[in-house]
Amino acid sequence: MKTIRVALAAAACGVLAACSGMSLDPNSLVQSGSQAVQAASLTDSDVRTLSDKSCAQLDSENQIAPAGSPYTKRLNKIASQLGDNINGVPVNYKVYITKDVNAWAMANGCMRVYSGLMDMMTDDEVRGVVGHEMGHVALGHTKKAMQVAYAASAVRSVASSAGGITGALSASQLGDFSEKLINAQFSQTQESAADDYSFDIQKKKGQDPSGLVTAFQKLAKLDGGKSSMLSSHPASAARAQHIQQRIASNK
């Protein structure tokens, strides 16, 4: 029985890539297996609760553009072209005032766009990026990313000892989890699917999706910065080409 438990834990460890460089100690492997089970068993309610907590934490740590800001007005206009919900979940749009180039969304409809991204992009390009982030939520990618972040953060241990996700979490624990979540890397398949979602929703709403092409072309020229989009795969240039092909074929 012990051998089976160790084997199962080792498999879980490999899936989460949590044990790289570690010796195969039975106790640590079993613990990793337990963490994987806890993460995989997160309910939709758990995901919404963690999203609410994480989004609130990040909002408290960043400068949010006020309602009358040109950034907020721009984003509200762009949002009206895409819709106010993702699979029935209302979207809450806000802009973070920062030079960083990024945007992200969570399963509870929390959508944040960085002013650094808006400064370098047209409205059509921002719309393409926002549609892409909506795609990650609509297609369930953000839930999977949260499961991985949960398994790798201190939040999981605290939640377990407190008897549930709603247990008391320190700012540092929640901050660690939030950072892992917004910096999560999606797979090539997930990124491509989110690109196609952005293309499709813009076409459905009667919008021109070509901004997604030029947005990726601009991202391809950047050589760094705090953006999960910059280190994603496939490369931005290839993603731009894929959308160009879809525009040309009108499919």
Q: Is 133 a catalytic residue?
A: yes
pLDDT of residue 76: 97
Is the per-residue pLDDT at 230 higher than 60? no
Residue 157: predicted pLDDT: 61
Residue-wise pLDDT tens digits, 99-133: 999 999 999 999 999 999 999 999 999 999 999 99
pLDDT tens digits along 45-84: 888 988 999 999 999 999 999 999 999 999 999 999 999 9
Taking each helix axis as running N to C, give the angle between helix 123-138 and helix 141-152, from 0 to 180 degrees, rounded to the nearest 10. Answer: 70
Give the side-chain half-sphere CA count within 13 A for 86.
26
Q: Would you kindly state where each structural domain of the chain is located, as residue ranges?
A: 1-41, 44-143+184-249
* % of the chain residues with pLDDT over 90: 51
Distance from C-alpha of 33 to C-alpha of 138, rounded to nearest angstrom:
28
Determine the pLDDT at residue 223. 52
Helices (H) and strands (E) in the chain, counts: 12, 5
The pTM (predicted TM-score) of the whole model is 0.78
147-157 pLDDT per residue, tens: 888 887 766 66
The catalytic position among 61, 125, 133, 179 is 133
Residue of 82, 136, 66, 144 lying closest to 104 (CA atoms) = 136
Q: Could you read off the pLDDT of 144-196 as tens digits, one per residue?
A: 988 888 887 766 665 555 556 655 567 787 888 888 888 888 888 999 999 99
Among the listed residues 128, 134, 155, the one whose alpha carbon sits nearest the alpha carbon of residue 219: 128
In this prediction, residue 123 carries a pLDDT of 98
